[in-house]
């Protein structure tokens, strides 16, 4: 947080927003569905690929702002297992853009102490993309700042299926298949990024109210924030606004609010007989 404030001056546009953020309640993990590149291009009568190209800048600025804020993990949905259905030229352009980003951003990632990682069926990516991705993952592995997970050839359902298969495979090799019981903890430990806590804040750009097969297991209790901004227009201001909105939420995880009860409120202890009477049931 300090690094972000140090990079701003009181007269800057984002100063008030940044100073309104509580540094003690930052989301540890932010996940983003970067959507709206195609619409951004169409509004300008440009090819869809131009929208993807314009989406690289916001990736760079979002990574930088999260690093400066001191966020632990940022997961960016860059390519889904379903995106192969797009025209071949668009898919290839996305690989070129990813390679361009990796090559160009490495010095910046190093400067910001960012550790880059990938989640998804990375083994199915074109060889050069895979190699260049592994290169950057290796070169940034010792960094101790923000962890950026690029979700590439990623699907939430495939991730869960892959986790279950990995558990089965482990049990088979160790001869424990007959007594195997799979619980939630086992699945969590076999996801693509088991060391990263579940996202606190999930942002989706371009106004769509869909999850699109993203982090299905991990978002059970994430706070969802949807902005109308199209991804190529997503700025530091949008990110800070999402964090401010997140800090106004009351996260209950299925329990009750952490706020202390007001004195005027009746206590929560009610005798069984009163509950039954209130429900209109008689005891025989
Ligand atoms: C969704 O917009 C976006 C994608 C499928 C690709 C995301 C890629 C980038 C932001 C490019 C840069 C990424 C990296 C990691 C360097 P869409 O095409 O579905 O938009 P639409 O819904 O308006 O058609």
Q: How confident is the model at residue 191 (pLDDT cuts 50, 70, 90)?
A: very high
Angle at 132 between CA 130 and CA 135, to 5 degrees: 110
Residue list, ligand 1 pocket, CB within 6 Å: 34-39, 52, 55-56, 59, 76, 78, 83, 97-98, 101, 150, 206, 231
Q: CA dist 9 to 13, 63, 75, 124, 244, Å?
A: 9, 20, 28, 45, 19
Does residue 145 register a pLDDT over 90?
Answer: yes
Q: By the 8 A CB rule, do 222 and 244 touch?
A: no
Does residue 103 register a pLDDT over 60?
Answer: yes
Q: By the 8 A CB rule, do 135 and 168 touch?
A: no
CATH: 3.90.400.10, 3.40.50.720, 3.40.50.300, 3.40.1180.10. Which one for 24-157+192-253? Answer: 3.40.1180.10
What is the token pair recorded at 214? 């993203």
What letter would DSSP give residue 87?
A: -
Residue ranges per structural domain of the chain? 24-157+192-253
Q: By the 8 A CB rule, do 206 and 58 touch?
A: no
Does residue 162 register a pLDDT over 70?
Answer: yes
Atom 10 of ligand 1 has which residue's CA nearest to it?
55
Q: By the 8 A CB rule, do 70 and 114 touch?
A: no
Give residue 12 CA to ligand 1 midpoint distance, Å.
29
Q: How far apart are CA 199 and CA 190, in angstroms?
A: 17
Q: How confident is the model at residue 263 (pLDDT cuts 50, 70, 90)?
A: low
Q: How confident is the model at residue 283 (pLDDT cuts 50, 70, 90)?
A: low
Q: By the 8 A CB rule, do 109 and 116 touch?
A: yes
154's CB contacts (< 8 A; 6+ apart) are 77, 78, 79, 80, 81, 119, 120, 121, 192, 214
Question: Is 165 an active-site residue?
Answer: no
Q: What is the pLDDT of residues 27-54, one digit of tens each?
A: 999 999 999 999 999 999 999 999 999 9
Given this model, what pLDDT does residue 268 score? 65
Q: What is the pLDDT of residues 120-135, one digit of tens each?
A: 999 999 999 999 999 9
Does residue 269 register a pLDDT over 80?
Answer: no
Does residue 284 register a pLDDT over 60?
Answer: no
Pocket test for ligand 1, best of 33, 35, 203 (most atoms within 8 A of CB): 35
Give residue 61 CA to ligand 1 midpoint distance, Å.
16
Does residue 282 register a pLDDT over 70?
Answer: no
Q: What is the pLDDT of residues 71-86, one digit of tens each?
A: 999 999 999 999 999 9
Question: For 247-273, what is the mean pLDDT?
Answer: 75
Q: Over pLDDT 90: what percentage of the chain?
A: 88
Q: What is the pLDDT of residues 224-258, one digit of tens each?
A: 999 999 999 999 999 999 999 999 999 888 888 87
């Amino acid at each position: 947080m300090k690094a972000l404030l140090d990079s701003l001056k009181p007269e800057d546009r984002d100063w008030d927003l940044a100073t309104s953020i509580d540094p003690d309640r930052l989301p540890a993990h932010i996940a983003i569905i970067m959507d709206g590149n195609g619409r951004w291009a169409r509004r300008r009568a440009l090819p869809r690929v131009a929208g993807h190209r314009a989406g690289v800048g916001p990736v760079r600025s979002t990574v930088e702002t999260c690093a400066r804020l001191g966020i632990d993990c940022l997961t960016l949905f860059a390519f889904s297992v379903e995106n192969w259905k797009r025209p071949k030229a668009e898919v290839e352009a996305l690989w070129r853009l990813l390679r361009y980003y990796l090559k160009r951003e490495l010095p910046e990632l190093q400067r910001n102490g960012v550790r880059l990682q990938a989640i998804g069926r990375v083994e199915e990516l074109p060889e050069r993309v895979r190699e260049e991705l592994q290169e950057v993952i290796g070169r940034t592995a010792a960094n101790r700042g923000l962890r950026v997970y690029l979700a590439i050839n990623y699907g939430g359902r495939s991730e869960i299926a892959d986790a279950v298969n990995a558990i089965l495979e482990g049990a088979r090799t160790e001869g424990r298949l007959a007594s195997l019981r799979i619980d939630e903890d086992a699945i969590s430990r076999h996801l693509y990024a088991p060391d990263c806590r579940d996202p606190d804040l999930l942002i989706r750009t371009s106004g769509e109210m869909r999850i699109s097969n993203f982090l299905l297991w991990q978002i059970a209790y994430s706070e969802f924030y949807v902005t109308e901004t199209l991804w190529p227009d997503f700025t530091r201001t949008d990110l800070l606004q999402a964090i401010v909105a997140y800090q106004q939420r009351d996260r209950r995880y299925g329990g009750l609010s952490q706020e202390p009860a007001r004195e005027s409120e009746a206590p929560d202890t009610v005798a069984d007989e009163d509950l039954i009477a209130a429900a209109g049931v008689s005891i025989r």
